[in-house]
Amino acid sequence: MMPTGGIPYLDADIYVEIDSAEGTEPTRSWFEDVARDVLKAEGVTPPYEVSVILTSEEVVHSMNRQYRNVDAPTDVIAFYTEEHGPNADLFVLPDDGVRRLGDIVISYPQAVEQARGEGHSVDKELSLLITHGLLHLLGYDHEAPEDAPRMRGREAVLMEEFKGRHYH
C-alpha cells in the first residue's frame, strides 16, 4: 500500500532515545520489542509511529510541572498526538495513513527505584511503564475511578503475556 503521493512508508517506526548514562539501561531494540508487542496486542497495525524516551528524573519532573501543572517527580508521561488526546487540536498531521501515536517519556532513575521498592527487576518495571504509556496513547485512562479498572486490568493481562519474554 502506498500513501497519497506515491512515497512508500515504513511499516512501524518506533523511535527510542536513551538519554541516560547509568550504564544499566536495556538496549534500544529491547524497548522497540516491548512497544511492538503492546501495540500488536492492542490491535494496532502498521503503519504507525511512536517515540519512547528514557531520561533523567529531573527532565521528567520538569515536564510534569510544565505540561501537567504537577510539581512532582513521576515515572512516565505520555504525550498524545491522536484525536482522543487532551491537546490533539494542537497538532496538524499529514493525511498519509500513518498513525502517529505520540511520545512516552520515562524516568529511568524512578523506574529503578520503583523496581527496588516492588522487589522485581528493572526490566519488569520498564515493561510496565512502556505498557502504561502506550495504553494512555491508545485512549485508556485511570484518572476517573470508573476508568481505572479497565486500564489496570489490561496492564495486568499484558504484563502476564510479557513475563519470560521481556522480563523475569
- Do 102 and 137 contact (CB within 8 A), yes or no? yes
DSSP reduced 3-state for 38? helix
Please give the full DSSP string across 40-81, using - where no structure is assigned. HHTT--SSEEEEEEEE-HHHHHHHHHHHH---S--SEEEEE-
pTM above 0.95, yes or no: no
pLDDT at position 88, please? 53
Rounded CA separation 106/22 (Å): 14
Q: How many domains in the chain?
A: 1
Sign of CA dihedral 87, 68, 45, 2: positive
Asked whether residue 6 is assigned to any structural domain, the reply reads no
Residues contacting 81, CB < 8 A, separation 6+: 88, 91, 93, 100, 101, 102, 103, 137
Report yes or no on 108 lying in a domain.
yes
Please indicate, yes or no, if residue 1 is contained in any of the structural domains.
Answer: no
**pLDDT on residue 7:** 39
111's grid cell: 523506574
Q: With H, G, I as helix, E, B as strand and everything else as coil, classify residue 150.
A: helix
Q: Is residue 65 part of a domain?
A: yes
Q: Is residue 156 part of a domain?
A: yes
Rounded-to-integer distance, Cα 112 and Cα 124, Å: 10
- Compute mean pLDDT per 10 residues along the chain, 168 residues long, and list them: 40 89 90 96 93 96 94 94 58 72 96 97 97 95 86 96 90
The pLDDT assigned to 90 comes to 58
At residue 12, the pLDDT reads 75
23 part of a folded domain: yes
Q: What is the CATH number of the domain that holds 31?
A: 3.40.390.30
In which domain, by residue range, is 71 found?
Answer: 12-162
Residue 75 covered by a domain: yes
Instruction: Answer whether residue 86 is part of any domain.
Output: yes
Q: Which whole-number Å values give the CA distances from 101 to 9, 12, 60, 113, 149, in the listed order? A: 16, 11, 19, 28, 23
